[in-house]
Structure 1
Amino acid sequence: MQSKVDVRCPQCHVDGRVSMLSMSSEIPYFGEHTQITITCDSCGWKHTDFIPSDGDKEGYWSIIVDSLQKNSARIIRSSSCTIRIPELDLEVSPGGSASGYITNIEGVLKRFIDAVKSVIRDLENKDSDFQSAQELLQSLLSAVDGSNVLTVELLDPRGRSQIIHDEAESRDLNDSEISALSTGPDLPVFEMD
């Protein structure tokens, strides 16, 4: 269901140009969920998130990526999820414009690869950080082609994220982990007329 909502855009602050689309569907092995996408016709701002129907429970998911087959493991990442690759000391935390998405392990690795490539473009060739970034890029590329083993972790204080694979492990987050995590944007709940 799509509706115009009479609220101010959180990005450009223009009134009455925000639309909200909500759609409920079934994701295999994840269950029923509602996808909410909020957009502003004025500035193009967009926010997407996934809300499971079975409620939220703070969660940690991990998978050791040690084969090409595991690159196809499904990832549901909500806007409140932090993704970590501990072996490479990489982390992406939810920021002010974080959105949820559905992808696979390879898709997550490619997002990290794109970010590292962007950093490399901004560095001078002689800079010591340049060499470190090149090594990091090579480690990520090797993981995509199956020659480098690493772990992908999802930490979601709102419990809306998951790794779907038989070898994925999950557990509850403890209080200290929850307090150390960002939850990303807190958007107002829009009421439909």
Structure 2
Amino acid sequence: MSSDEIVTECPACKKESMTVKSMVYPIPYFNELIIFVMKCSECKFTQKDIFSVEQRPPVRWELLVDDVDLLKTRVIRSGSGTMRLPDFGIDVEPGPAAEAFISNVEGVVQRMHDVTGIAMRSADTEEQQERGKEIMEKLKEAMEGNLAFTLVIEDPAGVSAILPDDMSKVNRTELSEEEASELRGAPFWLDNIRDEYAKVVETHGSAT
């Protein structure tokens, strides 16, 4: 794994004080991914993203998790990735603080469980709180391998992915321009950093 860094404008304080460290991370299917770690020395804003220098089509990944071993399946979520658990009515779309990560299916469900817990505690009605509890209980069953469910990830940048050991278990579909346009992509400032990094690579060669 090799690294490089640039300094750019912070999206929070608007000062040229954000260091963007980029690490090249080799990974199956993608060949290489770039992991960005961003931190502003002025306002302490921090963020992470995952990016591919290679041009990739917008994509949807779908995995039926009906075996406990599939909970170990590697999951890549970039700052432009939308995660869905349709069986639980949960969608997590990108936003200004969208978290990029490399984890596994169990880790994704745990994140959903935590987010649901936060939403439940701030619910306006008792009915919403009860609904939140029901979803959390089902998510716990899913994490224990006792409840089958489907995980969907969509990414207009084509960087997010679900990568089981047996790729025949996952459905990968390239999205049309119309389908991709309906997704919420990465924040504008994050797209700018991706473009800036791509230009650096084009000018000076790969960070490796």
TM-score by length of 2: 0.83
Please say if 1:103 is aligned against 2:103.
yes
The structure that is helix-richer by fraction is 2
Aligned residue in 2 for 1:45: 45
Q: How many correspondences in the alignment?
A: 190
1:48 and 1:93 mapped to 2: Cα distance? Answer: 16
- Tell me which amino acid in the other structure corresponds to 2:48: T
Match of 1:179 among 166, 181, 185: 181
- Tell me which amino acid in the other structure corresponds to 1:9: C
Structure 1 residue 44, shift from structure 2 partner: 2.1
Is the alpha carbon distance of 1:146 and 1:183 closer, same or farther for their aligned partners in structure 2, counting shifts above 3 Å? same
Aligned residue in 2 for 1:11: 12
Aligned residue in 2 for 1:64: 64
Aligned residue in 2 for 1:149: 148
1:25 and 1:129 mapped to 2: Cα distance? Answer: 41
Contact 2:33 2:50 in 1 (8 A): yes
1:52 and 1:4 mapped to 2: Cα distance? Answer: 17
Structure 1 residue 174, shift from structure 2 partner: 2.5
Please list every run of 5 or more consecutive structure 2 residues that lacks an aligned counterpart in the other structure.
201-208
Contact 2:113 2:136 in 1 (8 A): yes
Structure 1 residue 53, shift from structure 2 partner: 4.2
Aligned residue in 1 for 2:133: 134
Aligned residue in 1 for 2:55: 55
- Tell me which amino acid in the other structure corresponds to 2:150: T
Contact 2:121 2:129 in 1 (8 A): no
Structure 1 residue 34, shift from structure 2 partner: 1.6
Q: Deviations over 1:24-82 (max 9, x none)?
A: 13113432122222211222212222222432211000101112101000001110000
Contact 1:23 1:36 in 2 (8 A): yes
Please give the root-mean-square deviation of Cα atoms over the aligned residues, in Å: 2.0
Q: Deviations over 1:113-160 (max 9, x none)?
A: 001111222247x71111111111111111001111110000001101
2:129 and 2:13 mapped to 1: Cα distance? Answer: 36
Please list every run of 5 or more consecutive structure 1 residues that lacks an aligned counterpart in the other structure.
none
Q: Structure 1 stretch 48-57 or stretch 135-144: which is displaced more?
A: 48-57
1:184 and 1:55 mapped to 2: Cα distance? Answer: 16
1:33 and 1:133 mapped to 2: Cα distance? Answer: 36
TM-score by length of 1: 0.89
